[in-house]
Amino acid sequence: MKYDFDLIVIGSGAGGSVGADFAANLGKKVAVFEKEKVGGECPNWACVPTKALLSVADTLEHIKFAGKFGVSVTGTTIHYQKIKAWKNLVVSRTGAAEGEEAFKNAGITLIKERAWFLSPHEVEAGGKTYSAKNFLIATGTEVLVPPIPGLKETGFSTFKEAVDFDHLPKSIFILGGGAVGLEFTQIFSTFGSEVYLAEALPSLMAREDKEVGELSADLFERAGVKVLTGTKVMEVRKAGHKKIVSFEIGGHLDKVEVDEILLASGKKPVLDIELEKAGVEYNPKQIKVNEFLLTTTPNIYAAGDIVGPYQFTHTGNYQSYIAANNIFNSKKIKLDYSAVPRCVFTSPEIAAVGLTEKEALEKKIKIKKAIVPISILGRANTSEEFDGFVKVVTDEKGILIGASIVAPSAGEMIHELTLAIKLKANASDVAEMIHAYPTFSEAIKIACANVE
């Protein structure tokens, strides 16, 4: 049978674009369907714009503490429209901003329409039918709106609106103590908003080592953030231009009045593309794939947030490459999630890789561990940055299986331990390696030397 394309990719984000480029480079005829902005969430609304805003916040923090170093700075003022213009400039410099032209130059057909399946080899979009021998589904996720009474009627923001506010909210209630919640807490609290950070679980960053959440909460509270862990939001209602959030914490009812409510409590997969007509099995959390990213239909693969287990751009890129390789090459590649770095760009940054201590114990692994505060380092002394630590977890033989870092540049530091875990290195191998002085990475060496 003759098809219109060798490969149709549904979604132009990390999970789709890498695979599309891979196939095009092989000389395949490729089409990408995208109903929203080319490039997906990361460059347009998530990773890139939030990091641009966080860079501004970090600059402001350094200015606030400049007096301690003998540098006099007078009269810092937030010009939010100029900050927004900076964010827009950053977004405009990403590859996604030139996405349509990039696809054209690669010989990829971009169709700016929503697509849904008619059969395992056909989709419909914009009133037309398109066929392909193979498909890669990369529709991603969308914000999960919790069933809180009055929430939809009162109104709320998601990360998409929050990076594009016209003005700085005087007060904001952030619902969700994971990576997204923490980064927006850092942004708005540093800019001067009154921030309430609410998390239903007993700690922030609950999936990471407990020390991460404990230190994060402490640092935010020192900065004036009202951290509300173990909190259940009961109701939301409007009062003029304000929003009133009622919640239960510690067995007591309380309420606050804020300008904005930001949802950062979770996401759900975008599944409304008639997967049943293509024979693709899925559940409410993800599309079902095997270790090669093949769905339950032989010619259809899936990648990115839609398949999990992570919702990172770097895992989406990785999966997209794996899927495209496995579609067109006889030598198949299996997924390997043994060393996936996880980063949160607060101040200081948070980074982790591998198993947490709790996960290792749940797997019945006999562990050794060590935790070292960065306050003992020469670099911390020279820069007056004492908050943070490096924690490493090994098996009983000393093989590294997990690590957590809270420190300036933790997102860069974590890759040393990511490589060590990937290569199944012993903690002693890292400890014996010469680390430059003075650096925050010395804490990695010390922690690995202290494993017991």
Per-residue confidence (pLDDT) for residue 99, from 0 to 100? 84
Mean pLDDT of 329-344: 97
Distance between first and last Cα of the chain: 63
Q: Tokens 């947490």 appear where?
A: 356
In contact, 430 and 442? CB cutoff 8 Å: no
Cis peptide before 438 (omega within 30 of 0): yes
Using 50, 70 and 90 to split pLDDT, how confident is the model at 201? very high
The span from the CA of 272 to the CA of 404, in Å, is 37
- Using CB atoms within 10 Å of the CB of residue 87, give its burial: 0 to 12 exposed, 13 to 18 middle, 19+ buried: buried
Neighbours of 56 (CB within 10 A): 19
pLDDT surpassing 90 at residue 194? yes
Per-residue confidence (pLDDT) for residue 356, from 0 to 100? 98
Q: Which residues have a Cβ under 8 Å from the Cβ of 50 and sit 6 or more positions away? A: 159, 163, 183, 184, 187, 345
Mean pLDDT of 297-316: 97
Mean pLDDT of 415-439: 98
Per-residue confidence (pLDDT) for residue 76, from 0 to 100? 87
pLDDT surpassing 90 at residue 151? yes
Question: In this structure, what token pair is assigned to residue 438?
Answer: 């003075």
Kindly report, residue by residue over 347-373, the tens digit of the pLDDT: 999 999 999 999 999 999 999 999 999
Helix (H) or strand (E) holding 376, with range, is none
Using 50, 70 and 90 to split pLDDT, how confident is the model at 145? very high
Per-residue confidence (pLDDT) for residue 95, from 0 to 100? 82
Question: In this structure, what token pair is assigned to residue 437?
Answer: 């002085």
Q: How far is CA 21 from the centre of its chain?
A: 23
Q: Which residues have a Cβ under 8 Å from the Cβ of 292 and sit 6 or more positions away? A: 301, 322, 326, 332, 333, 334, 335
Q: How far is CA 256 from the centre of its chain?
A: 28
Per-residue confidence (pLDDT) for residue 146, from 0 to 100? 96
CA dihedral 390, 439, 426, 358 (to 10 degrees): 10
The span from the CA of 444 to the CA of 85, in Å, is 38
- Main-chain phi, psi angles of 390, to 5 degrees: -125, 130
Using 50, 70 and 90 to split pLDDT, how confident is the model at 229? very high
Query: pTM score, two decimals?
Result: 0.96
Q: Which of 60-74, 108-122, 157-171, 277-291 has the lowest mean pLDDT?
A: 60-74
Cα–Cα distances (Å) from 412 to 55, 122, 282, 405, in that order, read 15, 43, 36, 10
CA dihedral 92, 96, 101, 107 (to 10 degrees): 170
The span from the CA of 410 to the CA of 388, in Å, is 9
Mean pLDDT of 326-333: 97
Using 50, 70 and 90 to split pLDDT, how confident is the model at 75? confident
Strand order in the sheet with 349-354: 342-344, 349-354, 400-407, 389-395, 367-373
Kindly report, residue by residue over 90-143, the tens digit of the pLDDT: 999 998 878 899 999 999 999 999 999 999 999 999 999 999 999 999 999 999
Q: How many CA atoms lie within 13 A of 419 on its CB side?
A: 7
Q: Which residues have a Cβ under 8 Å from the Cβ of 336 and sit 6 or more positions away? A: none
Among residues of the chain, what percentage have pLDDT more than 90?
A: 97
pLDDT surpassing 90 at residue 234? yes
